[in-house]
Amino acid sequence: MFEPVILKNINIPDSFKLSAYINSGGYQALKKALEMTPDALIQMVKDSGLRGRGGAGFSTGLKWSFIPKDATLQKYLCCNADEGEPGTFKDRAIIEYDPHQLVEGMIIASYAIGADTSYIYIRGEFAFGADRLEAAIKEAYQKNYLGKNILGSKFNHDMYVHRGAGAYICGEETALLESIEGRRALPRIKPPFPAHVGLFGKPTVINNVETLACIPHIINKGASWFASIGPAKSPGPKLFGISGSVNKPGLYELPMGTPLREIIYTHAGGMKPGKKLKAVVPGGVSAPMLTEKDLDTPMDFDSLAAKGTMLGSGAVVVIDDSMCIVKAALITHEFFHHESCGKCTPCREGLDWIVKVMRRIEHGQGKEGDIELLQKLCVDIFGRTFCPLGDGAVMALRGAFNNFREEFEYHIKNKRCMVNGNR
Amino acid sequence: MATVKINGKEITVEDGTLILDAAKSAGFEIPTMCYHARLSKLASCRVCLVEIVGQKKLQPSCVTPVMHNMEVLTESPVVKSARSSMIELLLANHPLDCPVCDKGGECELQDVTFKFGPRKSPFGEPKRRFNEEDYILSPVIVQNINRCIQCKRCVRICAEVVGAGVLGSIGRGTGTQETSFVKEYLDCDHCGNCIEVCPVGSLMSRSFRYKSRPWDLSGVDTVCTYCGTGCQLTVQARNGEVVRVISNPDTGINNETLCARGRFGYSFINSHERLVTPMVRVDGKLEPSTWDKALDTIRTGLTNAIKMGEKIGGVASARLTNEELYLFQKLMRVALKSNNLEAGSRWNSDSVKEFIDVMGLKNGGVSIYDALKADTVLIIGTAISDENPVTDYIIRRLSSYRKMNIIIMSSRGLKLDSSAKILLRHKPGAEREIIGAITNIITGKSKGTSGQDNIVAAAEIIKNSNSVSIAVGNDVLRIASQLSYINDLTDSLKGLGKEVKLFPVLDRANQRGAWDMGVHPALLPGYKSTGEEGLGCDGIIQSALKGEVGALYIAGEDVVSDFPDGRAAREALGKVKFLIVQDMFLTETAKMANVLLPSASFVEKDGTFTNQEGRVQRLRRLYAPQGDVKADWEIISAIGETVAPSFGVKSATDIFNEIKEVVPMYRDISFEGLNGNGAILQLSGSSEGSGVVARFIGQNRRDNPSGLSPETVDPEYPFTLITGNHLYHSGRLSMKVDKLREILNEAIVEISEEDALVLGITEGVKVRVKSKSYEAYLTAKINSGTAKGVVFIPENFTDVLVNMFFKMGEGFPRVKVQLP
Amino acid sequence: MLSEAAVNEIKDIRKRYATARSCIMPCLYVVQKEYGYITEDGMREIAKILGVKPVLVFEVSTFYTMYNKKPVGRYHVQVCTNISCSIMDGEHIVDVISRKLGVKVKETTPDKKFTLSTVECLGSCGTAPMMQINDKYYENLNDTKVEEILNSLR
């Protein structure tokens, strides 16, 4: 059994309270970090091999190193707690049950990049989590883990919670910045990158909750400890959220690189009685689905990329044989269509066109040529959008086509569903 | 510099050049929809995607700068295909309304589809429909939201350039509407710039809706007749009726922008109220007549006045062309031997002369773009956002690109306030005090007193700037006062080694031209001094009241409505023995004429205007004046011939040629060659004065340097009344435009938030404004930025004649304001 | 007019950000708390307090789904119908609620107590099917639980 790192506290009673966190060794990492130089900290994180847990998988240490060293510039840290990718529910556990772990990670990260203020951008629906975070921050101020001259180190830092209000696009880092600035969350033109022109025009780092939660552990146990877990290029403990037709859906902390089969069958108890595995979405709905033949793929950034899909947020959604793939694809596509910010033509108009065609197909009004049309639209959209949302929609749809084209063809030809015979 | 290859063609461009511009200079067109040269960049339409060799993803050429050795392909198969698909996607939800859409024939989406788009599309789904009804957003703006392609040019221009910020993106995703949230009339400038930049038929002009297809229009490029900004515009007509005014993005200092007056204020041209025939007073009544009879009567009237040795005066409108104004002063001086003339009737002529001097107008022109290169721009004496809207737009836009300290001195709250670093609110007439204080602080003579924090801060900013531009508006001329304080500031700044530019802000299209042409009692064309000074308009009125004026010739100016003492003006004109008036309309002044002559509008003649920058631009004739109407210069010429047979001229060009000989600054200007942005006047080292600016060591002609409110303030009349042009109007001309009257028809009184609270006045209620000698009822408008104790009534409205509040020699009127 | 408590809350919010405009989102929540939904007057008041143009507030309020453009019932029942919840029959839960309350999706019960909506992923996929009522999550639903929960809400 893999010894939990990120989730080690969540079963402790009142784990979210400062007292519980301290009892379990909390804020030791902060003390250690404040005695190091920011450069040494950044190098440590680089050496650990930690890659962003939000989905992009970019080297966290490298991202931190992009921040200019000019001490006269104000800098910001933003924590991306928007957790909107369908299938994903990992950050929520940290926020609700071990918020101090996140807070500590954020203070250390801020110290490393020289940020005097940070914001936790938390999706509006996580009201409970936001309350827990605000309480934790308040406790942290009381113990001088936040505020002026933290633990006598001369480092000042303020932390705030900013609540979203229902927009998946805020998970995109520049859209997140726009949202904090009080605007509609439309992604920004890059370059300039947030490391140079970020929140309020200042150098900014945006990191995912889980990424920041790793930081205290790296400080406490060392970079090489972290790097030794899982594959060398994609190391560390990882929270895998598994949902769908399995017996024990939920959150499992396992080493990066754990095979998908193990997650589904060993940890999540396998398929529900009477259900056969049909498809698995490995990393949130933007990741093209896999089938039975791919179950031995190690769940890490590079192995999944090699299979034409992605680790993303590590959200595993198991689809059983009673679910029509056309319907699943439509649900996913409706999601992207609903969440499109509307800025760029291909996403706004392209996804709209696709969803109209797919609705027809799903409801028995498919026409000959519809699949070719959808494929043409995928080509029109992919790689031409302003941000990856449009790409995610296309990848999901292509994943459905590539593996289950016959279901689409059946819907179109027979005006009803291949799986359950309904219109 | 960067050397790049575009489609194999090698070119060298400046570092940071956008691929879009580099391609254009290499001769390759890349279509764009959301891109606009003068608006913030979005890169959202994706129509401009190009291929960069070595990069997997296509890049938007409108935001990507070239890099040295970059190879760009703008015509490769993948680029062409991507371009075509983006257009196809834009057309997917776009209603194919072309047959019924105003924009057909000048639609950017049509154009780009024709050139780069697909010929067919498999789209067969229901199109998104926001609303079956058009949105009526304003008296001038209507929107078919279904046609919108979300380019957001309208939202950007409204926020970034116009500064009104009333349009926004409402909703999300496919459901986004670029429009106003509230579905009543927009509380905006009604400038129609959103319409101008809309690439499709979404935002449309209500004045032009369904009137014509663009290919049925004839048009001319000319200059706006309203304020002194000098916007270039294109007036278009169909079947002899002007139906639209548009602005070409590539010409004029205004590019694609105009204000409500410029864009929608044209219907006076075809108004039924236009005078169409000469009129002569017979038995006390004005009756239609013929040119021969009218000129005969004039000959008699003028000859009598000359014979009797009585005073002869002339007042010309500053909306006349340079040619007309030159000819006017020549008529007065050469044919009628009189120096009693002025252009405009609202200001004291001594102050005008001083203004000309301190602003250095005889030194040539200054382009607004040069003036705005300064570190600090100080704006005084003009409610600039209302008076010269497009000047306000230019300042706003430029100040968003670079660090520019804007300091505004005004008695009223202005739209430009939000772009300013320091706001100096002051009582009317206090300009000299404040500028004096600033001058003393920057020269170290004083540190400022308590309560002068803003003044000290302003002085600090000015002191730390390397270059300062001072924009002075003509409000400083409304009450006679000395303007030496401007000189003192300018001299002090120059003494500190700062680069100083002076920039007049004038509220009439050709005011500067009028002064260049010497329509002033003390100045000849080119600012040479007359030997003996004559009387300006105020002097003529005073003289007329004493019965000394034998003949008065008024060309286009409504003296009775504009002179700051309506009662005196009417009485004076009544005492003039022989009054000649030429105008387009039967104004209050026209009604008093002995002979009334019908004159042409600005689109019915050729000529030139010189704007506030000193930029000479061409007016072009769209069609000849109708019936018996004549251009002002033709009338002046004919009148001249009645007393001096050799006076007549044949064409505006002939007059301009004479101007070139007489006025050194105009020597190098070519009438036919004035295209595009005209030409800024240069002081070319003429014989007169050789560039040395003669100082006006003036004495006021009045004992009381009026303009400073009397020491003892009558508590019964606690408010100071100021006037000026309203945003939607200019002089009285705009009142002849139905559309502008639809936007605002009745006079308003603007009052500060504080005062309104004290008096219990809320927005939109009718209030009574009363001075010792006049009272009126007006709708109240609350302006939170306006100074306490100040009320503003615009000078444009016919229902309330604000000049009746004013009395000669008494400075700013004092009034009380109460709920009726 | 916003209550004094609300105005004070806005003053606190202002301290958290470098610009006034950033306060628009939290201020909209203040308005929603006060009136139950985002009123036009509320938005104008926020604009005035913050010193921003009203259209900037309008834009934000219509972009994000959690700001109610219209009044909602005392209990806003939001059922997730995204992929994981659909696999676990979230649609059925919607039907159950719809039948019990007698309203269709997007409708409010006549006594203004319940509004039923379907929403996108709420980040609770491991405990699907689930719903959010006002600020609270109700997870691992089945017919019985749904019945109990709705009955308990008075």
Q: Is the pLDDT of residue B424 over 90?
A: yes
Beta strand ranges found along A21-73 (DSSP E):
none
Asked if the bond preceding B99 is cis, omega within 30° of 0, the reply is: no
Q: Is the pLDDT of residue B700 over 80?
A: no
Residue C40 and residue B182: Cβ atoms within 8 Å? Answer: yes
Q: How many CB pairs under 8 A join A and C?
A: 146
CA C56 – CA B165 distance, rounded (Å): 8
Sign of the dihedral through C-alpha C97, C99, C103, C106: positive
Residue B554 tokens, joined: 């008024």
User: What does the pLDDT average to over B83-88?
Assistant: 97
CA A49 – CA A31 distance, rounded (Å): 22
pLDDT for the residue B450: 83
CA B184 – CA C71 distance, rounded (Å): 22
Q: What is the pLDDT of residues B791-801, one digit of tens each?
A: 999 999 998 99
- Chains with ≥3 Cβ pairs under 8 A against C? A, B
Asked if residue B215 lies in contact with residue B228, where contact means CB atoms within 8 angstroms, the answer is no
CB atoms within 10 A of CB A51: 25
Neighboring chain B residues of C54 at a CB cutoff of 8 Å: 181
Residue B58 and residue A344: Cβ atoms within 8 Å? Answer: no
Mutant choice from A345, A353, A381 vs B, greatest count of B C-beta within 10 A? A345
B80 touches chain A (CB under 8 A): no
- ipTM tops the 0.90 cut: yes
C62 touches chain B (CB under 8 A): yes
Q: Which band of pLDDT confidence, cut at 50, 70 and 90, is reported for residue B701?
A: very low
Place of tokens 């006006």: B696
Strands C131-133 and C75-80: antiparallel
Q: What is the pLDDT of residues A166-200, one digit of tens each?
A: 999 999 999 999 999 999 999 999 999 999 999 99
Count, residues in chain B: 820
Residue C56 and residue B169: Cβ atoms within 8 Å? Answer: no
Residue B439 tokens, joined: 């001058």
C56 touches chain B (CB under 8 A): yes
From first to last of the 423 residues of chain A, give the pLDDT tens digit.
789 999 999 999 999 999 999 999 999 999 999 999 999 999 999 999 999 999 999 999 999 999 999 999 999 999 999 999 999 999 999 999 999 999 999 999 999 999 999 999 999 999 999 999 999 999 999 999 999 999 999 999 999 999 999 999 999 999 999 999 999 999 999 999 999 999 999 999 999 999 999 999 999 999 999 999 999 999 999 999 999 999 999 999 999 999 999 999 999 999 999 999 999 999 999 999 999 999 999 999 999 999 999 999 999 999 999 999 999 999 999 999 999 999 999 999 999 999 999 999 999 999 999 999 999 999 999 999 999 999 999 999 999 999 999 999 999 999 999 888 765
Q: What is the pLDDT of residues B541-594, one digit of tens each?
A: 999 999 999 999 999 999 999 999 999 999 999 999 999 999 999 999 999 999
- Chains with ≥3 Cβ pairs under 8 A against A? B, C
- Among B790, B725, B160, B617, residue whose Cα is nearest residue B388: B725
CATH superfamily of C75-153: Glutaredoxin (3.40.30.10)
User: What does the pLDDT average to over B345-353?
Assistant: 94
Q: Which long-range contacts (CB under 8 A, 24 or more apart) does A136-141 make?
A: A136/A16, A136/A18, A136/A99, A136/A100, A136/A103, A137/A103, A137/A161, A139/A17, A139/A18, A139/A100, A140/A18, A140/A100, A140/A103, A140/A107
pLDDT for the residue B809: 85
Asked if residue B684 lies in contact with residue B667, where contact means CB atoms within 8 angstroms, the answer is yes
CA B271 – CA B601 distance, rounded (Å): 11
pLDDT for the residue B480: 77
pLDDT for the residue B184: 80
Residue C126 and residue A179: Cβ atoms within 8 Å? Answer: no
For chain C, where do the domains classified as CATH 1.10.10 start and end? 4-63
CA A74 – CA A91 distance, rounded (Å): 28
Residue B132, judged by CB atoms within 10 A of its CB (0-12, 13-18, 19+), counts as exposed
Residue B242, judged by CB atoms within 10 A of its CB (0-12, 13-18, 19+), counts as buried
Give the angle B127-B133-B134 at the CA atoms, nearest 5°: 100
Amino acid at C74: R
User: What does the pLDDT average to over B701-723?
Assistant: 64
Alpha helices (H) in B359-417, listed in sequence order: 368-371, 384-387, 389-401
- Chains with ≥3 Cβ pairs under 8 A against B? A, C
Of A348, A373, A385, the CB nearest to B174: A348
Q: Give one DSSP letter per residue of A384-398, joined into a string.
A: TSSSHHHHHHHHHHH
Neighboring chain A residues of B155 at a CB cutoff of 8 Å: none
Q: Which residues contact B756 (CB under 8 A, 6 or more apart)?
A: B762, B780, B782
Which pTM value belongs to this model? 0.95
Q: What is the pLDDT of residues C1-34, one digit of tens each?
A: 899 999 999 999 999 999 999 999 999 999 999 9
Q: What would be the CATH architecture of the domain defined by C4-63?
A: Orthogonal Bundle (1.10)
Residue A385 and residue B46: Cβ atoms within 8 Å? Answer: yes
For chain C, where do the domains classified as CATH 3.40.30.10 start and end? 75-153
pLDDT for the residue B294: 97
B56 touches chain A (CB under 8 A): yes
Q: Which band of pLDDT confidence, cut at 50, 70 and 90, is reported for residue B451?
A: confident
pLDDT for the residue B479: 82
pLDDT for the residue B694: 32
Neighboring chain B residues of A349 at a CB cutoff of 8 Å: 89-90, 92-93, 174
Neighboring chain B residues of A385 at a CB cutoff of 8 Å: 46
pLDDT for the residue C106: 95
Strands B71-73 and B49-52: antiparallel
What number of CA atoms fall less than 13 Å from residue A60's CA on the CB side?
Answer: 35
Q: Give one DSSP letter per residue of B177-226, joined into a string.
A: EEE-SSSS---S----HHHHH-SSSSEEETTTTTT--GGG-EEEEEE-SS
Place of tokens 């308990």: C152
CA A142 – CA A150 distance, rounded (Å): 11
Residue A24, judged by CB atoms within 10 A of its CB (0-12, 13-18, 19+), counts as middle
Q: Give one DSSP letter per residue of chain C, joined into a string.
A: ---HHHHHHHHHHHTTSSSSGGGHHHHHHHHHHHHSS--HHHHHHHHHHHT--HHHHHHHHHHSTTS-SS---SEEEEEE-SHHHHHTTHHHHHHHHHHHHT--TT-B-TTS-EEEEEES--S-GGG-S-EEETTEEE-S--HHHHHHHHHH--
Strands C75-80 and C114-119: parallel
Q: Give one DSSP letter per residue of B561-575, joined into a string.
A: HHSS-HHHHHHHHHH
Contact residues, chain A to chain B, C-beta under 8 Å:
167, 184, 189, 337-346, 348-353, 356-357, 360, 367, 369, 373, 376, 379-380, 383-386
Amino acid at A419: V
User: What does the pLDDT average to over B172-192?
Assistant: 91
Residue B167 and residue C55: Cβ atoms within 8 Å? Answer: yes
User: What does the pLDDT average to over B145-155?
Assistant: 97
Place of tokens 């259209």: C55
What number of CA atoms fall less than 13 Å from residue A387's CA on the CB side?
Answer: 25
User: What does the pLDDT average to over B463-468?
Assistant: 97
Of C40, C56, C64, the CB nearest to B168: C56
Rounded to the nearest integer, the mean pLDDT of chain B is: 93
Amino acid at A285: V
Pick the more confident residue, B132 or B124.
B124
CA B409 – CA B379 distance, rounded (Å): 6
CA A229 – CA A237 distance, rounded (Å): 7
DSSP state of A51: B
Count, residues in chain C: 154
pLDDT for the residue B688: 36
Q: Is the pLDDT of residue B697 over 50?
A: no
DSSP state of B589: T
Lowest mean pLDDT among A25-34, A362-371, B160-169, B688-697: B688-697
- To the nearest whole Å, the CA of A193 is away from the closest chain B CA by 14
In three state form, how does the secondary structure of C40-85 look?
A: HHHHHHHHHHHCCCHHHHHHHHHHCCCCCCCCCCCEEEEEECCHHH
Residue A184 and residue C22: Cβ atoms within 8 Å? Answer: no
Q: Is the pLDDT of residue B704 over 50?
A: no
Lowest mean pLDDT among A194-203, B89-98, B701-710, C30-39: B701-710
Q: Which long-range contacts (CB under 8 A, 24 or more apart) does B669-676 make?
A: B669/B608, B669/B616, B671/B608, B671/B618, B674/B608, B674/B616, B674/B617, B674/B618, B675/B618, B676/B251
pLDDT for the residue B715: 87
Strands B578-583 and B595-598: parallel
3-state secondary structure of B768: strand
Give the chain A residue nearest C29 (alpha carbons): A165
Amino acid at A140: A
CA B150 – CA B147 distance, rounded (Å): 9
